[in-house]
Amino acid sequence: MMEVRLERLCNLASELSTLHESRRSTFARCSQASSTVDDIIAKMEFLKEVVLQEEDVLNRAASRRMSALRKRSIFTKKSSNASSSGTVITHATINGDAQFDVKQAASRLYDVENYSKCVRLIEKVPPAETDRDLLLLCHGSYKHMLSDAANTREASKLCEWWRAFVEKLESEKACQHFRLEILECLAECLWETSRLPLPLDSSTARERIMDDLMITKIELYQVSAGPIH
C-alpha cells in the first residue's frame, strides 16, 4: 500500500538525519551519498508534480473530448435531418472509401444512446484505420456503459475491454497528436479502473493498475514535451 511506503520513506529520512548528526564527516567524504540523496530528491519532486497534475490533466482531457463529441453530435443531427428520417442502420462497410459510412453509423448509434452497438461496430474497424473520431466515440461509449453498469463485475469487464481497445490502438504507429489522444484515453480508463471497489485480497492488483497509470502519465508527458511531428 502507498501509505506503508510513504511511512517507510519518512522513517528512513528520520534515521538518515540522526545518522548524519553523529557522522557528519563520513557523509562529507562520501560523494556517493550526496549524489544518491540528490537523485532521490529529484525523483520525489517529480512524483509530487505528477500527482498534482494528474486530476488537472484528466479534467482538461475530458473537457476537450466532450467538446469534440458535442460538435460531432450537432453535425450528425444536421446530416440526419437532411436525409430520410427513420432509417435503420443494419450494416456498415469497413474497408476502403466506406470509412465515412462507419463513422456516420457509429455517430448515429452514439446519439441514440445505443452505446454497446456503437462499440461493437467501431471495434470491427482495423486499428490502422481507426481515426480520432472513432476513438472518441468508442471511448465515450465505454464511459457511458461503465456509469450504467449493474454491478462491479460488469464494470470490471467493461474496463478490461475498454483498456484492450485503447491499447490495441496505442500499439499502432500514430502521429503525435493522435497518440496524445490515445494516451489520454488510456489514462482515463486506468483511472476509472482504479476507482472500482476490489476485494480485500486485491491490493496488489490495484497497485499494479496505479503503476500502469503512472507509467502512462509519464509517457503522456514525454510525448507532449517531445518535438512536434
Q: Does 54 map to a domain? A: no
The kind and range of the H/E element at 159 are helix 152-170
Enter the pTM of the model: 0.56
Q: Does 28 map to a domain? A: no
How many domains does the chain fold into?
1
**Closest of 117, 110, 108, 118 to residue 78, by C-alpha:** 108
DSSP string covering 126-139, please? -GGG--HHHHHHHH
Instruction: Quickly count: other Cβ atoms within 10 Å of residue 123's Cβ.
Output: 15
Indicate whether 225 pLDDT > 50.
yes
Q: What letter does residue 74 receive in the DSSP assignment?
A: H
User: Under a CB-based contact definition with an 8 Å cutoff, are residues 196 and 180 in contact?
Assistant: no
Q: Interior CA angle at 34 toward 28 and 40, to 5°?
A: 150
The more confident residue out of 35 and 85 is 35
Q: Does 112 map to a domain? A: yes
Instruction: Quickly count: other Cβ atoms within 10 Å of residue 44's Cβ.
Output: 11
Instruction: Quickly count: other Cβ atoms within 10 Å of residue 129's Cβ.
Output: 13
150-209: pLDDT as tens digits: 888 899 999 999 999 999 887 655 677 888 899 999 999 999 998 888 764 566 777 888
User: Under a CB-based contact definition with an 8 Å cutoff, are residues 198 and 206 in contact?
Assistant: yes
User: What's the burial of 76, exposed, middle or buried (CB within 10 Å: 0-12/13-18/19+)?
Assistant: middle
Q: Which residues contact 221 (CB under 8 A, 6 or more apart)?
A: 50
Q: Does 35 map to a domain? A: no
Range of the domain at 91: 60-225
Mean pLDDT of 1-27: 82
Mean pLDDT of 76-86: 41
**Closest of 121, 151, 126 to residue 138, by C-alpha:** 121
Half-sphere exposure of 80 (CA within 13 A, CB side): 19
User: Under a CB-based contact definition with an 8 Å cutoff, are residues 107 and 72 in contact?
Assistant: yes
Indicate whether 75 pLDDT > 50.
no
Q: Does 65 map to a domain? A: yes
Q: Does 45 map to a domain? A: no
Q: What is the mean pLDDT of the chain?
A: 76
Residue written as grid cell 461493437: 120
For residue 50, what pLDDT is reported? 62
Q: Does 89 map to a domain? A: yes
Strand locations in 124-218 (E): none
Q: Does 15 map to a domain? A: no
